[in-house]
Amino acid sequence: TARDYSTMTAAEHFAINILSEAQKDVSIKFARPLEDRFAAVNWARGPNGCPIFAQVAAWFECSMHDVIEAGDHVMIVGRVTAFKSSGLNGLGYARGGYFAPNVDSSAAGGEVGAVAVLERHGSLFPLGDDNLSLPRYSVPGGDPAKTLASQLERSGLSVHDWFSLLDL
């Protein structure tokens, strides 16, 4: 029922802006119904014309790949066509509060996680019957992406490392 639903699901390209820990005000502005949210933030056009906010931790510009119905929501899946990281800490939000995720969790003795996107016959899909999710794996140290790939390959799935294609 979102007023931007048809615009977002019909777009050929879209951007994902990962807000920096100093951008709580931007998050609040976009969480509220404003007539022109973009007038309230400093932004420029990305390579495909999508809005890229200033001072973000990172941004991704994507071409539309799929729109997946998931209960009363949809998941918009894109193919990353451009990416940039500023090195700033990101801004997280959970259980009603903001937090700054730890960029180097191994230095704090935490776990590092990886998530996979599954594709079958040209369609992307999540796992689960009632609660849909992407397969994920966490490890204390090491390389979680390689660990996740190994787990998926043992299950008989072909794994493609898209991050190496992006030249991160």
How far is Cα 43 from Cα 31, in angstroms, rounded to an integer? 17
Looking at the structure, tell me whether residues 77 and 16 fall in a common domain. yes
Neighbouring CB atoms inside 10 A of 23's CB total 22
Domain stop point among 80, 103, 126:
103
pLDDT tens per residue, range 110-131: 555 555 566 666 665 555 555 5
What are the 10-residue block averages of pLDDT along the chain, 168 residues in total?
Answer: 86 95 92 83 94 95 92 89 89 80 48 58 59 60 66 70 40
Looking at the structure, tell me whether residues 89 and 112 fall in a common domain. no
Tokens 């609660």 belong to 131
Looking at the structure, tell me whether residues 10 and 60 fall in a common domain. yes
Looking at the structure, tell me whether residues 44 and 99 fall in a common domain. yes
Domain count, the chain: 2
Domain stop point among 53, 74, 103:
103
Q: What is the pTM assigned to this prediction? A: 0.62
Looking at the structure, tell me whether residues 116 and 52 fall in a common domain. no
What is the residue range of 40's domain?
1-103
Q: List the CATH number of the domain containing 22.
A: 2.30.110.10
Looking at the structure, tell me whether residues 99 and 110 fall in a common domain. no
